[in-house]
Amino acid sequence: VGAVMFLQKLMAYWSVVGKFCFMVGISLIIQILHLICPSLAKKIVLRMGEKGTMTQNPNFKFEDWAQTFGSKEYIKFAFRRLWMNLGQEAFVGGEAPDLPVVTMKGEKTNICKYLNGNRPLVLTFGSCT
């Protein structure tokens, strides 16, 4: 079991490294393309934005957010999110991650605060909208 968990963790770390390298590579390509052919760079970024909701919001214009794509701040933020999420991975046979949660009163806490002995802890997720 220990070797399997080690391999799972190793794969999770390599996954983060791969995602980060991919993100940096795409950002560099977009930045270079923006210097050579701005209209093509815009077309590619907008096409990538179709996979998310950025381009569907009429309040967001390409000119408002395109400059941040690939910036040093963007890359630092994305790396920080990838790294933080890495600690929240659950592995077979390992302990459950102690994820941050917000109570109905708006207080920030962690899941493990609600553990009580050997009683199971059931989490229900939903939307308030």
Model pLDDT for residues 26-47, shown as the tens digit of each residue: 888 888 888 899 888 888 888 8
Model pLDDT for residues 69-92, shown as the tens digit of each residue: 778 888 888 888 887 777 666 666
pLDDT at 115: 83
Sorted by where each begins, the domain ranges of the chain are 2-93
Select from 15, 20, 23, 19 the least CA-distant residue to 69. Answer: 23
**From CA 16, how far away is CA 64, in angstroms rounded?**
29
**From CA 55, how far away is CA 46, in angstroms rounded?**
7
**CA 57-60-64 angle, 5° bins:** 160
Predicted structure pTM score: 0.58
